[in-house]
Structure 1
Amino acid sequence: MFRKITNCAVLANKSNLKCLFQKFSNTVPDSLIESTSTCSQINEQKSLSVTAQILALKKENYDTSVSKKNTEVSDSVLEKPRRTKVSDLSKYLRPGAVTSLYINKSDSLQELLKLGVKFYEIEKNPEAITFILSLKFEDYRDHILFLKDLKVSTEKIGEIITKNPFLLREHLDDLRVRINYLQFKKFTDDMIVRIVEINAMWLSHSTSDIDKRLGFFQRNLFLTGDQVRQLAAKSPKLVTWPLAKVKVNIFALKEEMGFSKEELQKIVLDKPKLLRMDQNKILRTFTYLHTTMKIPLEWIVEMPDILTCRQKRLMQRHLFLEKLNRAQYNPKEPKYIALTNLVYGTDSEFSTEIAKSSVEVFNAFLKTL
C-alpha cells in the first residue's frame, strides 16, 4: 500500500514538471530561441576572427622591426667604409690637427714647415689646406726658387705662402710676366720686393688687372707716374683693395670733407691707409675735429694721421687737455701740442708726457665722462 502511494507521488511530480516545461515553452517563441542561438554563434565567430587578425598584425609588425634592425646592421657594419674629405675633417679638429696627421709622412709638408709656413692659418680655409696636402715638393720647388731670385727672404716666403697658398698653383710663366710688367713700369727692385712681401695676393692678380688698378689711382687722385709708384710701394694692399670701397672714401674726402685736389693727393700719399678704412669712422672723427675742436682743414692736411684716430679716443684726450687748459693745437702759438699726440702712445705716455699729469688723474677723469 505504501509503495503504491509513493509511486503515485513520483508520477504526479513528473507530470507537474512536464506540464510546467510545456507551459514555459509555450510562452517563448521558437524563432527567438533559434535567433539567440544563431547570434551567439556569429559573435563567437567574429571574436575568433578579430583575435586572429590582431595576432596576424602583431606578427607582421614584429617581422618588420626585425627586418629593419637587420637592414640597419648590414648598412652600418657590412657596407664599404666611406672616404672622408680633408675639408670635412678640418671643421671638427683643432687648428693644426689636420696637418699633424700627415706631416710625418710628407716630405712636401716638412719642406714648407722649414720655410715657416703656418699650417694652422691655412686650415681655416678647407680648400686651401686640401690643396696644400695634395702637393709634392716637385710641384712647388720652382716657385720657391722664383721668390728667392727676387731676393725675398726665407722668412717672408713662409709668410707669403701662409697668406696666399694658391700662389703655388700659379704658372711660373705668368708670375714672370707679372714681375716683368712692374720692371717695365719702372718699379725698382726694392719696390718689387716690398710689394711681394707685404701683399701676398699681388702676384695672383693678372697683369691687365694690376694695370687697370694703377690707372684708376692715377686718374682719381691726379697722380704722376712717380706718385703712382710711390703709392703702390708704400701701400701694396691698397692697389688690390676693392675699388668700390676706395671710391667711397675718395668721395668722402673730396665732397663731404671738402679737401681740394692737391690736398687729397697729399693726404693719400702721406696716409694711404685712409682709403682702406671705414668711411663712417673717418667722417665721425673729421666731424669732431673740424666742428667741435675747430681744427682747420690745413692742419689736418699736414697731419692726416689724426683722421685714423677713433672719435672716442680723440674726444677723451682732447677734453682732458681742455680741462688742464692745455688744448692748444696751433703750431704758431706757445705750448703747442701736435695733433698726432692725440693718436699715438699709451694712456700713461699721453698723461705724463703730453698732458703733464698722471695716468691716475686721467683715469679718474674718464670716469666722469
Structure 2
Amino acid sequence: MSADTLVPYTPRVALDRLRQGDVGAWPVVGGLVVIAIVFSTLNDRFLSPENLTNLALQMAATGTISLGIIMVLLLGEIDLSAGSVSGLCAAVMTILHVKQAWPPVLAIGAGLLAGAAVGLLHGLMLTRLRMPSFVVTLAGFIGWLGLLLFLLRDGGTINLPFSGFVSGLSDTWLPGWLAWAIVLALVAGTAGAGLAVRRARASAGLPVSPVWWAPARAAGLAVVLGAAVVVMSADRGVPLLLVIFGVLVVGFDLVLRHTAFGRHLYAVGGNAEAARRAGIGVNRIRILAFTLGGTLVAAGGILAASRLSAVNQQSGGSDILLMAIAAAVIGGTSLFGGRGRAYAALLGVLVIQSITNGMFLLSVDSSVRLMVTAAVLALAVAIDSLARKGATR
C-alpha cells in the first residue's frame, strides 16, 4: 500500500523519509538542474524555445513505453519485449490503416488491443506456467520482432499519410488560449482535489496536512506548467504529443494511488506472500499489470510511428527498450518492486532525452552518449539500493 494512503505528504513527512533513506525524486530533480546548467553553459541553444519544444516531442513516445515498463517493475518483474511489442503494434495499426483502409481511430484501437493481448499472454505465461518474467519477455522480444519482420517483409517500410490523423498527432500545436486553459484546469483541479482529500481524511479521523499545503502545491505546479507554456509558445506552441503523454502520466498516477488495483499492485510488489495472505489475488494483479503495461507500450509505439510518419523494420528497435527501462529506473522506480510513481516515466525520460539532446548539440559521438547514460543509470540503481538498505536499518 502506498504510504500516502496512511500519512499525508507534507514537508515534515518528506524530511522524515529523507532521514530514513527514501530520497524520492530529489536526486532526479537535482540531476536535471545540473544537466541544464552544464549544457546551457556549453551551448546557448540548449535552453532555447525551439530546442525545448523538440525535447518535448522526443520524450513522448519513449516516456509512454516507460510507463508500461513501470507497471511491470512495480511487481518486481521485468519486461524485455517492450521495444519489439511497440514496433509490432505500430505495424498492426499502420497496416490496417494504410493497407486495409481502416479508419484511423479503429486502426489505433486495434493496435492498442494487440498490445493488451500480448501483455495478457505474457501475464498468463508468468502466472499459469510459472515461467520467470525474464524468460517470458526475452522470448517475446525475439518472437514479436520476428512477427514484425514477417508483417513488413514486402518492402520493409509503410509510410503513413503526412496529412492524415495519425501523423497529425505529432504535428498539432495547441493555440495559446487552450494551453493556458489546460494549465488553469490542472492547477484548480490539483488544489481542489487536495482540499477534498484533506476534508475526507479529517472526517475519517486520519492525519491531515496543513491547510496551506494543497494551495502551495498547486502554486508550485502553476509555476512549472506556466513556465513550460511560455517557453514553448515562443516557438510553435505546446505540442499535442506532449499533452497526450501528460494525460497518460496523470491518469495512471491516479490509478496507482487512488484505486484498489493500485494499492494491491504496490502490495504485491512489496511482498507477494504477505499480499496473498491478506486476501489479494496476486495472480490477477500480475495479469492485469502486464496487460495494462502492454497497452501502454503499444501506445508508445503508435506515438513513435506518428512522429516518423512511418513504420519500418527498425521500429521499436535500436536503444528504445534500454532507454525506456533506464528512464523508469532513473525516475525512481525500484527494480526490487513495490516503489515508484507514474511520474518516474516523465522525470526519467526527461533526464535521458536531455542528455541525448545536449550531446547532439555539442556533436558528441554516440559512444560517449551511451557511456554517460550508462553511468547515470548505474548511479540511479546505486541510490535505490542504498535507500533500501537505509530503510531496512
TM-score (norm 2): 0.20
* Higher Rg: 1
- More contact order relative to length (CA 8 Å, sep ≥ 6): 2
TM-score (norm 1): 0.21
